[in-house]
């Protein structure tokens, strides 16, 4: 007689008609991205909008690198919040810990894929990293700290934090039982094992925080230490990267948590207290980044030399002004919405989610402005202004990557609880 499979919590093991349609739609978009990249791989980067700086009047870095910075930035807030929850024992935020950890892992993978998409010959780039890599270069640090050490630490943290739930899920009669046993790896949830896991997770979380700041600062140094590129050489690049990473990551985590609240029936675990805290945290980070923008603008407008002033003018009143003012406007609007709720003590989930969406749109715009204008308008040689416009290939690859990340998140949620499960009472279900 066969054993009847149990109904798993939080929608695990169940795929509704709407979810199935979404999965197929995402697969189609991923396929589009793969096709677009195949055109780029076969025909070369001539099918993109990227061109040499100066001689061809273009930008060698474009949409791909802008999204490398964006994806890696989103990962910052995810694992940071998960680590802070562990270190400060913020029990009411524990339901968002795993989704924050998963968000970090997936966006880091997307960042790595964006780097590969930017390389004309990715295999040669990987080989040359080992052949000619210089540890003193921020480029080397970006790959070793962000794409390797940071990703590895995040995977270990996600694995350790999930062993308890894997062991509890393995006690249920389900077709995924083998997977949960594999993840649990003999974990029995005894008092001794709980204490050991608590110590390990605590020290891992403590070690991850300085690694995060170092990794994102190193990514900022890729731009900030280039003295010959007006618009990039700035002491604000590293802290600006860290703060904007927190803004975009927290905003996206709010959106993800709100969607899971609606689709997994976890309204009790994901209460308004969680979103109030995230909204207030996002408000503080947004205010800090707006301060950075004002300081940067005053410096470039008041005391900049000719080349710096040319880049600044292209951003604030020239070619890139629509992107700049739209990004600033979205950040100001988001801060205003969150600040009014903070002052009145009346929080709306819809408005908090709206602020999360707006800051991510602004973050994408700011990443684009960090990468492109200094290449098209920041040359120190006697070249005229350049121009960069992404082609359908670049847009399709980015859409494919975002769809891949969404698909990976959905698949994880359908095979493993995204929120900690409760223990089953002994002798019953």
Domain ranges across the chain: 49-390
What's the DSSP call for residue 305?
Answer: -
154 vs 79: CA distance, rounded Å: 7
**In the predicted model, is pLDDT for residue 145 greater than 70?**
no
Distance, in Å, from the CA atom of 45 to the CA atom of 42, rounded to the nearest integer, reads: 9
Does residue 132 register a pLDDT over 50? yes
Torsion of CA 70, 76, 82, 85, to 10 degrees: -120
Q: What is the pLDDT of residue 1?
A: 33
**What's the mean pLDDT in 130-153?**
76
CB atoms within 10 A of CB 367: 24
Output 124 or 250, whichever has higher pLDDT: 250
The pLDDT of residue 7 is 65
The predicted-structure confidence for 69-115, as pLDDT tens digits, reads as follows: 999 888 887 888 888 888 888 888 888 888 999 999 999 999 989 98
| pLDDT (mean) for 50-68 | 89
Share of the chain above pLDDT 70, in %: 95
CA distances from 313 to 161, 368, 374 (A): 49, 16, 11
Instruction: Look at residue 231 in the predicted model and tell me its pLDDT.
Output: 85
Per-residue pLDDT reduced to its tens digit, 164-218: 888 888 888 788 888 889 998 888 877 888 788 788 888 888 888 887 787 778 8
Domain 49-390 fold: Formate dehydrogenase/DMSO reductase fold (1.20.1630)
For the segment 373-389, the average pLDDT, to the nearest whole number, is 87
Among 39-43, 234-238, 347-351, where is mean pLDDT lowest? 234-238
Please check the confidence at residue 383 and state whether its pLDDT lies above 80: yes
Q: Is the pLDDT of residue 68 over 60?
A: yes
Q: How many Cβ atoms from other residues are within 10 Å of residue 221's Cβ?
A: 18
Instruction: Give the span between the Cα atoms of 62 and 397, in whole angstroms.
Output: 13
Specify which of 60-64, 202-206, 259-263 reaches the highest per-range mean pLDDT: 60-64
129 or 287: which leads in pLDDT: 287
Tokens of 282: 């996002």
DSSP, res 177 = H
From CA 231, how far away is CA 130, in angstroms rounded?
Answer: 30
Task: Determine the average pLDDT of the residues in 50-62.
Answer: 86
Nearest to 158 by CA among 389, 383, 408: 408
pLDDT surpassing 70 at residue 427: no
């Amino acid at each position: 007689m066969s054993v009847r499979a149990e109904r798993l919590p939080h929608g695990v093991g169940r795929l509704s008609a709407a979810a199935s349609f979404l999965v197929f739609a995402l697969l189609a978009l991923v396929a589009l991205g793969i096709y677009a990249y195949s055109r780029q791989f076969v025909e070369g980067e001539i099918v993109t909008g990227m061109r040499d700086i100066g001689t061809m009047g273009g930008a060698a870095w474009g949409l791909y690198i802008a999204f490398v910075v964006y994806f890696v930035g989103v990962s910052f807030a995810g694992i940071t919040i998960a680590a802070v929850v562990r270190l400060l024992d913020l029990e009411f935020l524990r339901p968002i810990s795993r989704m924050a950890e998963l968000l970090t892992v997936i966006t880091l993978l997307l960042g790595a894929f964006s780097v590969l998409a930017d390389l004309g010959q990715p295999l040669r780039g990987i080989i040359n990293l080992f052949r000619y890599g210089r540890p003193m270069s921020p480029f080397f640090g970006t790959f070793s700290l962000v794409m390797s050490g940071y990703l590895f630490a995040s995977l270990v943290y996600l694995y350790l934090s999930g062993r308890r739930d894997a062991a509890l899920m393995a006690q249920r009669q389900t077709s995924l039982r083998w997977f949960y046993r594999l993840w649990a790896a003999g974990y029995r949830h005894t008092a001794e094992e709980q204490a050991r896991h608590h110590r390990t997770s605590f020290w891992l979380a403590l070690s991850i925080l300085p690694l995060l700041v170092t990794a994102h600062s190193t990514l900022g140094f890729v731009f900030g230490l280039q003295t010959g590129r007006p618009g990039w050489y700035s002491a604000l690049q590293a802290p600006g990267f860290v703060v904007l990473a927190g803004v975009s990551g927290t905003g996206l985590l709010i959106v993800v948590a709100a969607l899971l609240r609606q689709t997994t029936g976890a309204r009790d675990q994901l209460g308004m207290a969680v979103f109030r805290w995230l909204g207030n945290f996002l408000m503080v980070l947004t205010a800090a980044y707006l301060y950075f923008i004002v300081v940067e603008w005053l410096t470039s407008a008041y005391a900049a030399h000719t080349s710096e002033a040319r880049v600044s003018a292209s951003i604030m009143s020239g070619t890139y002004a629509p992107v700049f003012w739209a990004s600033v406007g979205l950040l100001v609007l988001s801060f205003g919405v969150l600040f009014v709720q903070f002052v009145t003590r009346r929080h709306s989930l819809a408005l908090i989610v709206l602020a999360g969406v707006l800051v991510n749109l602004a973050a994408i715009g700011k990443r684009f402005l960090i990468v492109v204008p200094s290449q098209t308008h920041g040359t120190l040689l006697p070249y005229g202004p350049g121009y960069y416009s992404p082609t359908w290939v670049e847009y399709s690859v980015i859409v494919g990557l975002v769809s891949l990340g969404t698909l990976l998140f959905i698949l994880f949620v359908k095979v493993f609880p995204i929120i900690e499960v409760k223990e089953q009472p002994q002798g019953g279900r």
